[in-house]
Structure 1
Amino acid sequence: MKILVTGAKGFIGKNLVAELKNRGIKIIYEFNRENDMTVLGQYTKECDFVFHLAGINRPQSDNEFFSGNVDFTSQLLQLLKEHKNKAPILFASSIQAENGTSYGRSKLEAEKLIFNYAKENCVNAYVYRLPNVFGKWSKPNYNSVVATFCYNIARGLDIQINNPEADLTLCYIDDVLEEFICALNGNPSKISSYSIVPKIYTIKLSQLAETIQSFKETRENLNIPNMENKLVKKLYSTYLSYLPEDNFSYDLKMNCDHRGSFTEFLKTNNQGQVSINVSKPGITKGNHWHHTKNEKFLVVSGEGLIRFRKLDSEDIIEYRVSGEKLQVVDIPVGYTHSIVNVGENDLVTVMWANENFDPEKPDTYFQEV
């Protein structure tokens, strides 16, 4: 299959081209505004499907809306007609198509051209009135307020909020691509004559800003955002794509002494926390028990001995662990336990606890194994 993508270097276009390649599409005709129209003539002769994504969003004058969105669409359709190419065409319109602005009117006019062309030439046309699309590779201060907020907050720059209570309708780039692929396969989601992206989210502008700001704070409080919330999950992935390239890493607070170190890594609201424990050779750590707190130990480097004793028993249970064989050891409640470095190198253990550490209620009681 040969696919034509207009606006291939734009936000949606770049993501779409990458996904088409992921799906094994070998021939993708990428047309952009800097290309000569003779190139488009050849592409429209050979293509089997058209993704018409090209358009003007922020021109210097309103006339450019109509030349970029209406006139170019007319030229594209005329070339397809001249070549008698009945390839299906997908058009990325906007929810602003009926808001009366110059941009909206230009998108509405382009829609009419697409629908008339499809009817007159017996061609399948899929017109999507997209809301605010967000995701990786979107241009700050151009494509999306999400991109602008992510870019600025990641760099400690101010953001501007004129109407905090304004409702935003958002859709995520991967959900858009999933729907576009359905259309490519002849199975678009539709309401009346329009095609739709089924997964849509609504959020107030102030809530969007607070959510993205909270992502930056996770480097300090170590809290993982709520990944059960699908919008939060997608916003967090987007935020990370806007990190400055010299700021991908960040330091953790290491609690060090002669025995080694203990470092909290990740925390969650309801799934506990993960920490990294380093013990020097010959060092024993632990010798305590819990009422309710339970843990999992995973030694990833070195050799260790995890020892248990039930409080009302003198029997000692031992588990020998090593980074050579990754093995999780559960730490049940009611057992005092310790971990001993019996090797010659540092013992590194990943420790998960079912609750975040609360210094007011540590649920930790000293008792030698």
Structure 2
Amino acid sequence: MTTVALTGAGGFLGWHTRAAAHAQGIDARPVPLGDAFVPESAADAISGADRFIHIAGINRAPEEEVLAGNVRLAEQAASVLERAERPPATVAYANSIQSGNGTPYGHGKQAAADVLRAAAERIGADFVDLRLPNLFGEHGRPFYNSVVATFSHQLAIGDAPHVDQDRELVLLHAQYAADALLGTLDGVGLAGSEVRESVTGLLTRLSALAATYTHGGEIPDLSDAFERDLFNTFRGAAFEEVTPIRPDRHADARGSFFEIVRSHGGAGQTSFSTTAPGITRGQHYHRRKVERFTVLSGEAVISLRRLFTTEVLEFRVSSDSPASIDMPTMWAHNITNVGDSELYTAFWSNELFDPERPDTIAEPV
């Protein structure tokens, strides 16, 4: 098994990198830095790893702390690279396109790159300096990680976001950055995944996605990968507000009728399963796929858990009161028949199933 050691594992990009590593069968070892830095244990975590990924950094602090803090973290990382008994063959750095732009943050990121490059040369490792643009993705902190996280949060709770200063952004979903840091996406693929959009254009896109989705759980057109990534980011922010989705049920003497999915465009696939009492299906997660569970007959508990956490959310659903649950990306999920009769469930996803690229990774809830 390929092994990586990474700093900043508890942060936004660190979480996405751990999720990407897990999906690809890569063992990811956290390496604490900063005040939690212990040279001996950090060196042990790095020793024997195929790749060392430095993500930890400081971007929200007084200017002098931003500059000095990024250098300090890089120096800690460099010291354990040289201390490791079996140092990694590759050192990858999550740098920024702001590196060297004259700001304290830019100076700090550039100086950190210089420190790590020198350490990589001393241990004979390849150095990968990834200058990443504005990252966004599921579970970013609003008013901290990205404007996408901020707008998504505001739209999810019903606020009206506004643009303070319009400018063009270079945007990249965090899963692409994670793949590049892991070495499973090359520079050409990384550049091809970047999107240029103004802040105003970004808000327009997110507002349209939110308006469609919060209107009874309708699915917007997800044929464009960037729109899908924005939608998954918004879904992550809006999960508590929109779950479960309650379709309108129309009943008369003949029986009842309700819509499962109303999609505004793009591919889609609907599947159906029967499940015996007491049996559980699922136990997996998706990196990018949108998936919806709807119970048609019987009673079930749908359980979900965000990767690398222990809290499990449970939704009890039945055909007596129709409800749909959309699975957030990078959340393990399953469905259990808790009734006395056979369970009938419809499953919808936004893409056709491809056995070569299933985007279905085994993980128990």
TM-score in terms of structure 1 length: 0.64
5+ long unaligned stretches in structure 2? 270-295, 299-343, 347-365
**Paired letter, 2:113:** E
Deviation at 1:101, TM superposition (A): 1.4
The whole-number CA distance in structure 2 between the counterparts of 1:156 and 1:14 is: 27
**Paired letter, 1:147:** A
Counterparts in 2 of 1:156 and 1:2: CA distance versus 1, 3 Å: same
Find out whether 1:206 has 2:200 as its counterpart.
yes
Deviation at 1:221, TM superposition (A): 6.7
Partner of residue 254 from structure 1, selected from 249, 257, 260: 249
Match of 2:179 in 1: 178
Partner of residue 101 from structure 2, selected from 99, 102, 110: 99
Q: Greater CA deviation, 213-222 or 149-158?
A: 213-222
The whole-number CA distance in structure 2 between the counterparts of 1:158 and 1:132 is: 22
**Paired letter, 2:215:** E
Identity among equivalent positions (%) equals: 25
Deviation at 1:156, TM superposition (A): 0.8
Match of 2:262 in 1: 267
Deviation at 1:121, TM superposition (A): 4.1
The whole-number CA distance in structure 1 between the counterparts of 2:52 and 2:196 is: 30
Q: Greater CA deviation, 218-227 or 64-73?
A: 218-227
Match of 1:326 in 2: none
The whole-number CA distance in structure 2 between the counterparts of 1:101 and 1:27 is: 32
Counterparts in 2 of 1:157 and 1:105: CA distance versus 1, 3 Å: same
Find out whether 1:231 has 2:231 as its counterpart.
no
Match of 1:62 in 2: 63
Higher Cα radius of gyration: 1
- Secondary structure of 1:3's partner? strand
Match of 1:362 in 2: none
Match of 1:6 in 2: 7
8 Å contact from structure 1 (residues 52, 91) kept in 2: yes
Match of 1:20 in 2: 21
Deviation at 1:180, TM superposition (A): 2.6
Please give the per-residue CA displacement for 1:281-310, whole angstroms capped at 9, x wherever unaligned. xxxxxxxxxxxxxxxxxxx769xxxxxxxx
The whole-number CA distance in structure 2 between the counterparts of 1:220 and 1:108 is: 46
Match of 1:278 in 2: none
**Paired letter, 2:244:** S
Q: Greater CA deviation, 16-25 or 135-144?
A: 16-25
Please give the per-residue CA displacement for 1:111-135, whole angstroms capped at 9, x wherever unaligned. 2222333344432011111111111
TM-score in terms of structure 2 length: 0.65
The whole-number CA distance in structure 2 between the counterparts of 1:130 and 1:106 is: 15
The whole-number CA distance in structure 2 between the counterparts of 1:213 and 1:31 is: 38
8 Å contact from structure 1 (residues 7, 33) kept in 2: no
Partner of residue 135 from structure 1, selected from 134, 137, 144: 137
Find out whether 1:219 has 2:214 as its counterpart.
yes
8 Å contact from structure 1 (residues 136, 238) kept in 2: yes
8 Å contact from structure 2 (residues 21, 28) kept in 1: no
The whole-number CA distance in structure 2 between the counterparts of 1:266 and 1:210 is: 24
Counterparts in 2 of 1:69 and 1:43: CA distance versus 1, 3 Å: same
8 Å contact from structure 1 (residues 138, 147) kept in 2: yes
**Paired letter, 1:189:** D
Deviation at 1:258, TM superposition (A): 4.0
5+ long unaligned stretches in structure 1? 275-299, 303-347, 351-369
* Count of residue correspondences: 272
Match of 2:362 in 1: none
Match of 2:111 in 1: 109
8 Å contact from structure 2 (residues 221, 265) kept in 1: no
